[in-house]
Amino acid sequence: ELKQKNYELKQFNETYTQQRDLIEKSERAFAQIKTDLEKKFHDKMQEINDKTRQNEQQLIENLNRDHAKVCDKLKLEYTQAKEQFVLII
């Protein structure tokens, strides 16, 4: 019976060691997955921020161009109105 108990204890010890190793591997895998996901999240956020900055810059350029067109049009209308006013006088 002692041999049987000794055998069972060894089996239990092996099982425990295997389970502990699996748990450690799982924890390392989980930590790696977490690190990878955090990096992907950071990279995606950086990509979104870069794209947002590009869009903001493009919007500013478009607004400046449109503003310049409006200013040029108003200057032309002002010049034409001034010339007509001079002709009336």
CA 41-25-23 angle, 5° bins: 110
pLDDT in tens, 20-70: 999 999 999 999 999 999 999 999 999 999 999 999 999 999 999 999 999
DSSP per residue, 33-63:
HHHHHHHHHHHHHHHHHHHHHHHHHHHHHHH
pTM over 0.75: no
How far apart are the C-alpha atoms of 27 and 23, rounded to whole Å?
6
In the chain, where are the structural domains located? 1-62
Q: What Å distances lie between residue 67 and 51, 71, 78, CA to CA?
A: 24, 6, 16
